Amino acid sequence: MTEVKLFSGTNSRNLAESIAKNYGQDLGQLTLSKFSDGEFSPSYDESVRGCSVFLIQSTNPTADNLLELCLMIDAAKRASAYKVCAVLPYFGYARQDRKDRPRVSIAAKLIANMLTSAGADRIMTCDLHAGQIQGFFDIPLDHLDGSAIFVPYLKSLDLGNLLVASPDVGGVGRARAYAKHFEVEMVVCDKHRKRANEVASMQIIGDVEGMDVVLVDDLVDTAGTMCKAAQIIMDKGANSVRAIATHGVLSGKAYENIENSVLSELVITDTIPLKQNSSKIKVLTVAELFGKAIHAVTGNDSISALFI
């Protein structure tokens, strides 16, 4: 077995430290130098020759986070690392995974090409916006499942009349998996968008009266869809409604929308650093999940045991 070293980009430092602690070693030393115009240059302060290197960095905008990761990969390869695994707790630009209208980019495929061209030998991420993005890579990709974090938490709530809901048709598969695990029913929120981040209309397919509803999604951005769905569900007679989403992008008026919503709570993970605190937002950590996954990869073990 080769020596394993873990390094962090600037965007995911706290999470990376927790992952390293769960893995059982300290983060490696890396310096990120910046020119006065903002251009940056990463350099490793210790040898990585012949090592299996894991680089931890979520690539949520700004694009600096993605470029920094690519430069870290390139630097590790040029320093003769044996293998480089890019660990992206949050894979940015994943919502642009297809041409849903003319003359647009398939950004998720472009990012896959960039990471591969930079020299990544393996990708590790969690809850991609669309599972088919795995097919954009010609290198191994470990796709971890956030249900390993959320299922134990939902069980701890001991909700008597649990009902799972998908905030849109695209998330039905994800919500159905939770409903199947808990052996409960599922409803769907059918929405129509005018444009990105703006919902024109929404209706609930299914009965929610008297139920404790859990909305399941992979990410929450402005929280407009989530809050609108929660309001309609409560208007239809639900006892309570809460939401779980792996990635808390939380841009624009997200915090205001959540605070003013009927949501009991929004449960997210720390794949993206929280910008501010909120009485309705609870953060669970993915550090143990990624620590175990890195152990499995370095030991040539299956990671399927981490899935629920």
Q: Among all chains, which residue has been given the structure tokens 């929660």?
A: 230
- Looking at the DSSP assignment, which residues form a beta bridge with residue 55? 7, 86
Between CA 173 and CA 188 the distance in angstroms is 11
- Report the distance separating Cα 223 and Cα 191, nearest Å: 14
φ/ψ region of 119 (left if φ > 0, alpha if ψ in -120 to 50, else beta) reads left
Interatomic CA distance for residues 86 and 7, integer angstroms: 10
- The residue annotated as part of the active site, out of 191, 228, 236, 292, is 191
Task: Give the whole-angstrom CA distance, residue 101 versus residue 299.
Answer: 44
Using omega within 30 degrees of 0 as the cis cutoff, is the peptide bond preceding 269 cis?
A: no
Q: Could you confirm whether 282 is annotated as catalytic?
A: no
SS (H, E, C) 103-117: CCCCHHHHHHHHHHH
Which residues are part of the catalytic machinery?
Answer: 191
